[in-house]
């Protein structure tokens, strides 16, 4: 068997296995929907520091998944080899926000659906998912929890500050208390009665209250 025989055996058949127009259309749409996923991720991000690299990863993951599925659907033998190759890949990057997992699966699902030729499903499904995420993730109400950190000079100032805080909010739960020489620090979880944070000014103006800090509570507090 010569080199030309090997070259002609199946390589040329694999080149024409995928329609060039379908391939280009699928990759272009995967790029466009990947950008839409990136846009939704940026609009719904609630962390401290936005990670642009993760957003770019969503776009790349959509296109890469589409590329892989296009190759798999064009050749059964290649699909078996692809499964074996991907089975040895290990990802050890920690996912800090559970919502990030939803975006990763969204990107992978879009790539698979586009490569399968279900263009209306990919477009309509992505629009619906994006709308739901924007509406629900960005929804803010006054019942969202907050953390109040109080620093008081003595126990009398602590009692007056806690009583004032309980009258001003809907719910107040003590999470931690630290006592040092000449200072008492309280960490309390609260829920507001209304979207008004003016009670923090009243707390800080009380005698014996050295500082009053209000922090948005994201549910990761351990205490």
In a shared domain, residues 9 and 60: yes
Identify whether 223 is part of a domain: no
Identify whether 78 is part of a domain: yes
In a shared domain, residues 11 and 74: yes
pLDDT tens per residue across span 68-114: 888 777 665 555 556 555 555 555 666 677 788 889 899 989 998 99
In three-state form (DSSP H/G/I as H, E/B as E, the rest C), the secondary structure along 72-102 is HHHCHHHHHHHHHHHCCCCCCCCCCCHHHHH
Give the model's pLDDT for residue 62. 92
pLDDT tens per residue across span 24-67: 888 999 999 999 999 999 888 876 667 788 889 899 999 988 88
Q: Are 161 and 203 in contact (CB under 8 A)?
A: yes
Query: Which pLDDT band, with edges at 50, 70 and 90, does 3 fall under?
Result: very low
In a shared domain, residues 75 and 172: no
What is the spatial distance between Cα 76 and Cα 85, in angstroms, rounded to a whole number? 14
In a shared domain, residues 195 and 168: yes
Q: Six-digit token pair at 87?
A: 């089975």
Identify whether 222 is part of a domain: no
| CATH at 157 | 3.30.70.1150
In a shared domain, residues 131 and 164: no
Strand-pair category, 145-152 with 209-216: antiparallel
In a shared domain, residues 133 and 154: no
In a shared domain, residues 13 and 48: yes
Which domain-ending residue is among 137, 153, 173?
137
In a shared domain, residues 109 and 133: yes
Give the model's pLDDT for residue 217. 66
pTM of the full structure: 0.62
Q: How many domains does the chain have?
A: 2
In a shared domain, residues 133 and 149: no
Q: Would you say the C-alpha torsion 205, 206, 207, 208 has a positive or negative sign?
A: negative
Q: Six-digit token pair at 22?
A: 């379908």
In a shared domain, residues 109 and 150: no
């Amino acid at each position: 068997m010569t080199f030309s025989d090997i070259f002609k055996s199946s390589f040329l058949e694999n080149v024409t296995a995928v329609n060039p127009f379908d391939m280009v259309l699928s990759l272009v749409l995967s790029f466009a929907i990947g950008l839409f996923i990136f846009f939704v991720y940026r609009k719904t991000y609630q962390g401290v520091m936005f990670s642009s690299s993760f957003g770019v990863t969503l776009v790349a993951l959509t296109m890469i998944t589409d590329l892989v599925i296009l190759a798999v659907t064009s050749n059964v033998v290649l699909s078996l080899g692809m499964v074996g190759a991907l089975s040895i890949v290990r990802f050890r990057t920690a996912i800090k926000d559970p919502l990030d997992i939803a975006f990763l699966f969204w990107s992978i699902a879009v790539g698979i659906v586009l490569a399968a030729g279900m263009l209306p499903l990919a477009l309509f499904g992505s629009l619906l998912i994006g709308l739901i995420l924007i509406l629900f993730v960005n929804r803010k109400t006054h019942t969202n929890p907050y953390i109040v950190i109080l620093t008081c000079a003595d126990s009398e100032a602590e009692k007056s500050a806690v009583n004032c805080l309980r009258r001003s909010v809907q719910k107040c739960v003590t999470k931690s208390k630290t006592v040092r020489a000449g200072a008492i620090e309280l960490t309390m979880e609260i829920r507001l009665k209304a979207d008004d944070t003016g009670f923090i000014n009243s707390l800080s103006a009380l005698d014996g209250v050295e500082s009053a800090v209000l922090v948005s509570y994201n549910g990761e507090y351990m205490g």
